[in-house]
Amino acid sequence: MIVGLWRLKMKGAFNSPDMEEITPEYVAQLGKEWFESMVDATPEEELFSLPKFEHRLVQEHRDGHQEGERDGEAKILMRQLQRRFGIVPDWVREKVAKAELSFLENWSLRIFDAQSLDDIFFDKV
């Protein structure tokens, strides 16, 4: 389904009188946007019934999105830590760099009540 819709969209673009203005970068960006919109609009059960190649593309898209979200959360947390505590030690940088998204989200909330880095990164028993 996704590939078929993409072909229809591209046929329309290539038959356009503005074809001279279409650059390779434009086509690549159009493809990325179209793919993202199709993945977002396609029901989950239909995505899982896709042939292996298309399914892999969908999974890579989702993985990339999650990785980007994790990286963004880590960047914001590091900025908050620097603002609150000054110089951030290497052990904190390493912990943040390796952390999963759920940990980053939790730590970014703890920063509001924390008096020290230990209050953020170590659970009190």
pLDDT tens digits, 31-43: 777 777 777 777 7
Provide the pLDDT confidence category of residue 53 given band limits of 50, 70 and 90: very low
Provide the pLDDT confidence category of residue 96 given band limits of 50, 70 and 90: very high
Provide the pLDDT confidence category of residue 122 given band limits of 50, 70 and 90: confident
Whether residue 73 is contained in a domain is answered as yes
Backbone phi, psi, residue 115, to 5°: -100, -15
Does the pLDDT at position 74 exceed 60? yes
State how many domains the chain has: 1
Q: Please give the residue range of the domain that contains residue 107.
A: 64-125
pTM of the prediction? 0.48
Mean pLDDT of 98-123: 91
Residues 74/38, Cβ–Cβ less than 8 Å: no
**Containing H/E element for 95?**
helix 90-98
Give the separation between CA 97 and CA 91, rounded to whole angstroms: 10
Whether residue 72 is contained in a domain is answered as yes
Whether residue 36 is contained in a domain is answered as no
